[in-house]
Amino acid sequence: MMGLMPSEETRTKTHPTVRSSAAPEAREPGGTSTRAWTTRLLVLGIVLSALNLRPAITSLGALLEEVRDGLGMSGSVAGLLTSVPPLCFAVFGVMAPRLARRFGAGAVVCAGMAAIAAGLAIRPYAGGTAGFLAASALALMGIAVSNVLMPVIVKHWFPDRVGSMTGLYSMALALGTALAAAVTVPLTDALGGSWQSGLGLWAGLAVAAVLPWLPFVRGRGAGTAVSGPGERAGGPETGPRGGTLGQKAEPGNQAVSPEADGDRPVRDRETRDQQTRDRETRDRQTPGSAPAGSAAGEAPRLRITRSRTAWALAVFFGLQATAAYITMGWMAQIFRDAGVPAGTAGLLLAVTMVMGVPLAFVIPRLATRLPHQGPIVLALGVCGLAGYAGLYLAPAAGAWAWAVLLGVANCAFPLALTMVGMRARSGPGVAQLSAFAQSTGYLISIPGPLLVGVLYQHSGGWGLPIALMSALMIPQMAVGFLAGRDRTVEDEAGR
């Protein structure tokens, strides 16, 4: 049950409600309606953005054979193509917190959606493999920064609903992933059989996702996107720097920011205040340091690489990403090589992806109610091992069952996102942990899809690639169990 926060001036006074973060203008006359409108627009932006974070990948997986034939790709080059997403996520994802501090998270996500639209519109007609890869990288750059900033935006705007909002975002992501896998082949046939048209049409969905973020572009220069609500960001009089995604810190009216949908205990106010005073003292002793509590000054003080939990979460993120991108890039081809028609193979991939729609809502909410998320990690891993065994033994006969099992296993992604929000106490901590876990994780996942393509080309079958996928599931379960322990990176890394 959510704790109630005493004010600074009157320790015995309590507030009957807990405020989630809101824009500064929401406190002006008529601000209640403005706040409600802003929140609804933000939820719409989150949902539309999540819908666009995977069609660039799964639409290509459904048409990979046609793209390979059209561009003259070998299996190894196709493996390189399926490795481009994690590479881009690793390279560009690490830039997201810095961009958000400079321009505001809303502006960065808006630009990310525009990059996705441009890349998806250009790549089918870029001409040649190099142009196709470059345009894909542009779209994936937009996906990368949005991937990192979504948990930060959820933590900032919905501090008391991290689990449910992460579930909504993950459901939309899974729905977009499944939709692209299911309808790309039928739409391509309806458009005359041109794979260029089948891939290019997804740019329209990205254009729609740009629109809800346009009002938040006004907050350029705001660093508050990486500061959690209720934190001291510039002092009680000035509030956080910037505006649109910010909140003024008012004495006795600071937002509570529980990590687990209100089910985890709220940390003692005096402890947080003492930590803030300690940080301010260290800042004054450090020449050239940023003001205490500012978004620009928070991130460098958390030595994220000293946290074992951060490393466990990064490796877990990387191994689940490896499995996900191998599945998105190659599973349809596995079924097609087993004699399954192209349209049915696309539907099987869609089933795998759509399993994330209900489970992406259930798993985060369940995870936030458990003191240890390790058992969920193990259950998902067992489903993955069973699915891989089925692909090896009877890929066509039990295709639908294997698709369902692998879809359950792929829900390690929303679980990883939820653990990012739970393994850090503050907005800046979530921003750093999200950037570190995703960037490091995606670096780890780069070789997987490429190696699958090489093994497939040189062995002429799927036995060795499936054995590789099964072998990688074991360490994924181990590090995921460690990352699920009830601790925070702030406690481990120190400041």
Quote the pLDDT of residue 416.
92
Q: Is the pTM of this model over 0.75?
A: no
**CA–CA dist 352, 180 (Å, integer):** 12
Mean pLDDT for the stretch of residues 235-263? 35
- pLDDT, tens digit (0-9, with 9 covering 90-100), for 459-474: 888 999 999 999 999 9
Q: Tokens in use for 25? A: 């203008």
Residue 335, pLDDT score: 94
Higher pLDDT, 299 or 90: 90
Q: How confident is the model at residue 4 (pLDDT cuts 50, 70, 90)?
A: very low
Q: Which residues contact 208 (CB under 8 A, 6 or more apart)?
A: 48
Q: How far apart are CA 141 and CA 397, in angstroms?
A: 39
| pLDDT confidence of residue 33 | 66
First to last CA, the chain: 29
34-50 pLDDT tens trace: 778 888 888 999 999 99
Say yes or no to pLDDT of 224 above 80: no
Between 71 and 7, the more confident residue is 71
Percent with pLDDT over 70 in the chain: 76
Q: What is the reported pLDDT for 32?
A: 66
Query: 379 pLDDT band (50/70/90 cuts)?
Result: very high
Least confident piece of the model among 5-14, 25-34, 86-95:
5-14
Query: Looking at residues 223-249, what average pLDDT do you find?
Result: 36
For the chain, how long is the longest CA-to-CA vector? 74
Model confidence at 236: pLDDT above 80:
no
Higher pLDDT, 405 or 95: 405
| Average predicted confidence (pLDDT) for the chain | 77
Q: What is the pLDDT of residue 389?
A: 96
pLDDT-derived band at 14 (thresholds 50, 70, 90) equals very low
Can you list the pairs that 11-18 forms with residues at least 24 positions away whose Cβ atoms lie under 8 Å?
13/252, 15/252, 15/253, 18/160, 18/255, 18/256
Q: Read off the tokens for 156.
A: 């900032």
Query: Which amino acid appears at position 251 of this protein?
Result: P
pLDDT, mean of residues 442-461: 87
Q: Which residue has the higher pLDDT, 91 or 387?
A: 387
Give the mean model confidence (pLDDT) for residues 113-124. 95
pLDDT at 494: 64
Average pLDDT for 320-340: 90
Q: List, in order, residues 6 or more apart from 79 with CB less than 8 Å away.
A: 449, 450, 451, 452, 453, 454, 456, 457
Residues sharing a CB contact under 8 Å with residue 50, sequence separation 6 or more, in sequence order:
150, 169, 170, 171, 172, 173, 176
Q: How confident is the model at residue 301 (pLDDT cuts 50, 70, 90)?
A: low
Our CA dihedral for 27, 31, 35, 36, rounded to 10 degrees, sits at 140
Section 261-279 average pLDDT: 46
pLDDT, mean of residues 161-182? 83
